[in-house]
Amino acid sequence: MIFLENEQICTSIASKGAELQSLKSKKNNVNYLWNGNPEYWGKFSPVLFPIVGGLKNNTYYFEGKEYQLPRHGFARDKDFQVKQLSATEALLTLSDDEESLKVYPFRFVLQLRYQLSDRAISCTYEVLNPDNEKSMLFSIGGHPAFATSTEGGLKYTDYFLQFNKDTELVYHKVKHDLIDSETAVIELKEGKLPLNHALFYDDALVLKTLKSDCITLHNHKNKNGIHFRFKNFPFFGIWAAKNADFVCLEPWCGLADGTAHDQHIEHKEGIVTLGPNETFVRKWEVECF
């Protein structure tokens, strides 16, 4: 486990999956991240790579060959190497190996960089294609789960998400872990989405047209919350396990397969093509208050 801290916040990161596992304010001793209770969902903030979501029959095809990958890929279950470490910054790295090449036929270097600044932590994804000739195809995304406290009389329904640029959410429905073409709309009064457990009984809200680049998680009874900032992620997911007291805010470069997808990875919606020796960078940030 890796520990970072400054005068405002402290955090812990597991080398397995390079997963952020706590985010605490020194001022109020609040842990803003979900506690990983396995009765509901035993993760905290997994890294989604080299796919986001599920594949149809957990299978894809590339250059005439068949491959299998589990939902959200393999990075979240791999041990990352710590390449740089200071009091307020950590760089963790995962590279292709013989095992990964059997299920994902691309060379890669995946780096996660965590940095603390005042009351905020940023997570930067750096994907490098070390191949001199071959492009790599991939998706990547975040899955951080933020706690909704039930202390002091708080209930899940006391919480809401505030969107900085949206007045409605058009979301695609999920059917058998795949993205359906059917959509539904949630109107946002003053940009707010009130939370209730039933929102997620049919899986995540999958958003393809989100305008906001900052979502605030807040409640009606105290002053504690987070600002979640992100840019250049074309898709977004909002999810919670059934009746669990958290909400995941998930910026994605990529999606689960659509129900009509032909399973060829080069045709997958949102797939990123990274040329030889190129680097891809995306970042999200959480500011605590």
Inter-CA distances, 265 with 137, 139, 190, 251, Å: 8, 10, 39, 20
Q: Does 32 score more than 90 pLDDT?
A: yes
Count of domains in the chain?
A: 1
- Sequence-distant (6+) residues with CB within 8 A of 68 are 55, 58, 59, 103
For 28, the domain range is 2-288
Q: Residue for token digits 């940023």?
A: 122
User: CATH number, domain at 72?
Assistant: 2.70.98.10
Residues 5-30 have pLDDT tens digits of 999 999 999 999 999 999 999 999 99
- Sheet order of strands, 109-117 included: 81-85, 89-95, 109-117, 120-128, 279-288, 226-230, 214-219, 159-163, 192-194
Mean pLDDT score, 88-106? 98
pLDDT band at 261 (very low <50, low <70, confident <90, very high): very high
Question: How far is it, in rounded angstroms, from Cα 54 to Cα 72?
Answer: 6
